[in-house]
Amino acid sequence: MGLFIAKRLLRLVATVFAVTLLTFLMTSLLPGDPAVAVLGAEGVQNEELLLQVREDLGLDEPLPVRYVSWLGDALTGDLGESYINSGQSVSDTIGDRFPVTAQLAIMAILIAIVLALPLGVLGAYHQSKWPDTASSAVVQVALSVPNFITGIFLIWLFAVQLEWLPASNWNRMSNGLGANLKTAILPATALATTQMAIFSRLVRSDMIATLQENFILAAKAKGLSNKFVLLRHALRPSSLSLMTIVGINFGALLGGTVVIETLFAIPGLGFRLINAISQRDIMVIQGITVFVAVVYVLINTLVDLFYVAIDPRIRRS
């Protein structure tokens, strides 16, 4: 077990290192000069100033030197400063934005689970009958409609037509939980629809398999109610792979909220990343990309370790 964990951690370090290297190289390969982005087309008229800005940003150093210097700082938690919003530390930016994105991702996962479980159970219990077909149809729709289209639809319905919820922007928790949830519910729901479809399919197929097991037949033979059998005996063993995919998808959602955050103008990591890309704010691009990648890899590792902990067959192999 110890060896397994050590191996996984070693792999994690190697992956994170590769991610930092690739991110650094790719952002450095982006066409254009960050110094020009800082100065603007008009500011660049002064060549002396252009050279000064390049020097200030360390762009006059060779790429390997810049990478080693950046990596050294990053290991101490210093991801540098924004080129564009001068004086703003990238670590602080991530610290401000991560809670917003994490809240969206958590809410999306919760909404998805709450909707997916009944749909999946219903489909499995009434396999090949009309409730199964109906729930499959809902899942099909949720899978085939991109979440930004769902987002646009939700804005149109709940903000423009019904005027129940705001169309955009974000109320921080400090403004009150109610106000916060009012701004979070639509984007979280938009993110949740695809997740819900994936989870529901998983629950349905796992539960169909579970319902064939002998212990289910035994429970039914004892005269237990269908509801009891489904919820107490079948649901738990059918949820293991759901828990795994929830973990993995949570990590993916952290990096996948870019479109929804931009659509709803939510100040999370994704929105900042998009702005940084359009402004050639390379330090911010690198910092956010690496952070999201590290979190994703960490979550995957934790899921692996969780698997090992609960499944002795993996431990033995």
Interface positions with another protein (CB under 8 A): 30-33, 36-46, 49-50, 53, 84-88, 93, 96, 130, 133-134, 136-138, 140-141, 144-145, 149-150, 152-153, 155-156, 159-160, 163, 166-170, 172, 262-267, 271-272, 274-275, 277-280
- CB of 17: closest distance to another protein in angstroms? 29
- CB of 80: closest distance to another protein in angstroms? 15
- Closest to 292 in 3D by CA, of 265, 261, 260, 253: 253
At 252, phi and psi to the nearest 5?
-65, -35
- Closest to 77 in 3D by CA, of 61, 89, 65: 89
Q: How far apart are CA 177 and CA 39, in angstroms?
A: 41
- CB of 63: closest distance to another protein in angstroms? 16
With tokens 């500011």, the residue in question is 43
Q: Which is nearer to another protein, 237 or 267 (CB)?
A: 267
Would you state the structure tokens that stand for residue 63, as one six-digit string? 């790429």
- CB of 304: closest distance to another protein in angstroms? 35
C-beta of residue 85 within 8 angstroms of C-beta of residue 289:
no
Q: Which is nearer to another protein, 24 or 264 (CB)?
A: 264
Tell me the CA distances in angstroms from 159 to 48, 112, 168, 181, 206, one per residue in order.
51, 21, 9, 14, 38
C-beta of residue 204 within 8 angstroms of C-beta of residue 120:
yes
With tokens 């994704």, the residue in question is 270
Element (H, E) at 25: helix 2-29
- CB of 87: closest distance to another protein in angstroms? 3
Provide Rg for the chain, Cα atoms: 24
- CB of 35: closest distance to another protein in angstroms? 8
Q: Which is nearer to another protein, 94 or 234 (CB)?
A: 94
Q: Which is nearer to another protein, 134 or 299 (CB)?
A: 134
Q: Which is nearer to another protein, 45 or 69 (CB)?
A: 45
Q: How far apart are CA 22 and CA 290, in angstroms?
A: 10
Q: Which is nearer to another protein, 233 or 280 (CB)?
A: 280
- CB of 278: closest distance to another protein in angstroms? 6
At 81, phi and psi to the nearest 5?
-120, 150
Q: Which is nearer to another protein, 76 or 161 (CB)?
A: 161
Tell me the CA distances in angstroms from 112 to 36, 167, 172, one per residue in order.
44, 21, 23
- CB of 118: closest distance to another protein in angstroms? 18
With tokens 């709450």, the residue in question is 114
Q: Which is nearer to another protein, 37 or 115 (CB)?
A: 37
